[in-house]
């Protein structure tokens, strides 16, 4: 069996930006002084400590401006996972006496889902909302699930796997309405917005959110640093205790280089947001057109390719072959992407997001996710399309499976045995 001849010079085509991005060189440059020269502890009262503290405040201010809020609502954390944990556990444990009900969705990142599962073990009740077949959670569904004892609603902004953008502002308005008619300040509304910067609206007033998670590693910033936006009237039980940094909510000496880098990265992606948004949509749509033309039996997963989908996300299922095998073959050609197949997950179950959308297992096992980035070009897509169709063809030749794609999306494919 012969696979396409490999190029003489292996090119790296990185299409897994939703997993993480490289760090922008300008960000690295901004961080540099805080490793060696300006290394002091920002709590130090001496000159160099105060200088570093100034940088910390500048970073907080920069971020607050982008989120249209005040600096004292920005908490720096150790990343998106920690911010999600802090929001979920923080609210639940602080307000357990006011109610023990939480609403979230089946599409959330594990940082939220597994936190909620832990809270269930601690006596909380969690409602996991089901999305529709494109991954949308309707505001009506949220309001229908609200109860007197609901203290928190946590719904992701842009989905990391399928790119579906949830109607966060509309859901926020539903929650505001509920609070008004019930004369209560509950529930609080949290959104995991890690995939949003550089693409979507981040104004917390327009989004009507009380808590919002962001992180550095998805936005060309450093890894291991994140933000939790927290509206002033929301109180949190801290996860980490110690010296009382971050308004006593997140102890530990601040990761100053990381924080400076995160602020710079957020500033840079927001600066070019509009142009980049259109560029990515065009490129992504071009990719999908080529895929449809050159590979039979494929399906788009998630929202339609419009404004309600992250501009850089393409999640597809390629029938009759398995995602990990495909991913490893693509890797041989320098093409990097990810899959929702069971074989790459710790649990050996396929992606919970794809399954929640009602995608049959057969489709989920053959899913590939491509996420484009700032440096992705048309040439990169052409390079992928030079090899992908042939690799798919070869793997189909050694596969005993031959599914008939049902024109009605998300129904069980007809299964032919050879």
Partner 1 sequence: MVNQKGAAIRDNQGNSWLYSDIVKDHFFNPRNILFAGEEEDYDADAMGRVGSPACGDEMVLWLKIDKDSERIKECKWQTFGCGSAIASTSMLSVMLSENGGMTLDDALKIKPQDIMERLGGLPNRKIHCSVLGDKALQSSINEWFRKTDQLDRIITDGAKVIDEKLKITDHDIEEAVLEGAQTLEDVQKKLKVGAASPESIPEIEQLIRFYSEKYYGEAFI
Decide if residue 322 touches partner 1 (CB under 8 A): yes
Q: How far is the CB of 363 from partner 1 (least distance, A)?
A: 9
Residue among 292, 235, 241, 224 at smallest CA distance from 31: 224
Decide if residue 410 touches partner 1 (CB under 8 A): no
Decide if residue 362 touches partner 1 (CB under 8 A): yes
Q: How far is the CB of 319 from partner 1 (least distance, A)?
A: 8
Q: How far is the CB of 367 from partner 1 (least distance, A)?
A: 11
Cβ pair 62, 267 in contact under 8 A: yes
Residue among 21, 72, 19, 99 at smallest CA distance from 339: 19
The Cα–Cα gap between 17 and 313 comes to 9
Among 48, 169, 239, 401, binds partner 1 (CB under 8 A): 401
Residue among 172, 164, 224 at smallest CA distance from 200: 164
The Cα–Cα gap between 245 and 53 comes to 12
Q: Which stretch binds partner 1 (CB under 8 A): 217-225, 282-290, 361-369, 377-385?
A: 361-369
CB nearer to partner 1: pick between 100 and 365: 365
The catalytically annotated residue of 116, 194, 337, 343 is 343
Cβ pair 188, 153 in contact under 8 A: yes
* 194 belongs to the catalytic site: no
Instruction: Please give the full DSSP string across 157-210, using - where no structure is assigned.
Output: SB-TTT-BBP-HHHHHHHHHHHHHHTT----EEEEE-TT-TTTS---HHHHT-S
The Cα–Cα gap between 43 and 58 comes to 15
CB nearer to partner 1: pick between 6 and 29: 6
Decide if residue 19 touches partner 1 (CB under 8 A): no
Decide if residue 332 touches partner 1 (CB under 8 A): yes
Helices (H) and strands (E) in the chain, counts: 14, 14
Decide if residue 400 touches partner 1 (CB under 8 A): yes
Q: With the CA atoms of 74, 79, 80 and 86 taken in that order, what torsion angle do they form, in degrees rounded to the nearest 10?
A: -60
Q: How far is the CB of 264 from partner 1 (least distance, A)?
A: 27
Among 249, 262, 300, 403, binds partner 1 (CB under 8 A): 403
CB nearer to partner 1: pick between 106 and 273: 106
Active site residues: 343
Report the interface residues with partner 1, using CB under 8 A.
1, 3, 320-325, 328-329, 331-332, 341-344, 346-350, 360-362, 365-366, 396-403, 415, 417-418
């Amino acid at each position: 069996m012969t696979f396409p001849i490999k190029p003489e010079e292996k090119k790296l085509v990185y299409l897994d930006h939703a997993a993480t991005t490289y760090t922008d060189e300008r960000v690295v440059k901004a961080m540099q002084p805080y490793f060696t020269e300006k290394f002091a502890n920002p709590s130090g009262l001496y000159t160099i400590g105060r200088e570093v503290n100034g940088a910390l405040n500048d970073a907080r201010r920069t971020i607050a401006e982008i989120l249209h809020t005040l600096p004292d609502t920005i908490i720096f954390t150790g990343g998106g996972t920690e911010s999600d944990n802090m929001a979920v556990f923080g609210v639940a444990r602080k307000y357990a006496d006011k109610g023990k009900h939480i609403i979230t969705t089946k599409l959330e990142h594990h940082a939220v889902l597994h936190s909620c599962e832990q809270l269930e073990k601690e006596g909380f009740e969690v409602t996991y909302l089901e999305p529709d077949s494109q991954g949308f959670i309707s505001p009506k569904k949220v309001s229908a699930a609200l109860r007197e004892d609901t203290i928190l609603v946590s719904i992701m902004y842009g989905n990391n796997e399928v790119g579906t953008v949830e109607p966060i502002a509309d859901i926020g308005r539903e929650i505001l309405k509920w609070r008004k008619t019930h004369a209560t300040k509950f529930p609080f509304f949290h959104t995991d917005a890690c995939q949003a910067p550089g693409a979507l609206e981040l104004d917390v007033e327009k989004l009507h959110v009380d808590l919002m998670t962001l992180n550095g590693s998805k936005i060309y910033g450093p890894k291991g640093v994140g933000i939790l936006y927290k509206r002033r009237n929301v109180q949190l039980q801290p996860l980490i205790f110690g010296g009382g940094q971050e308004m006593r909510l997140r102890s530990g000496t601040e990761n100053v280089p990381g924080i400076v880098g995160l602020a710079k990265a957020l500033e840079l992606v927001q600066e070019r947001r509009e142009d980049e948004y259109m560029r990515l949509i065009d490129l992504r749509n071009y990719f999908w057109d080529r895929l449809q033309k050159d590979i039979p039996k494929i399906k788009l997963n998630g929202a339609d390719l419009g404004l309600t989908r992250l501009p850089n996300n393409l999640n597809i299922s390629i029938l009759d072959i398995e995602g990990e095998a495909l991913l490893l073959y693509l890797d041989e050609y320098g093409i990097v992407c990810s899959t929702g197949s069971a074989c790459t997950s710790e649990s050996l179950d396929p992606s919970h997001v794809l399954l929640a959308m009602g995608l049959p297992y057969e489709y989920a096992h053959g899913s590939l996710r491509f996420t484009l980035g700032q440096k992705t070009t048309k040439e990169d897509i052409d390079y992928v399309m030079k090899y992908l169709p042939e690799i798919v063809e070869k793997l189909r030749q050694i596969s005993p499976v031959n599914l008939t794609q049902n024109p009605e999306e998300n129904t069980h494919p007809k299964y032919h045995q050879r």
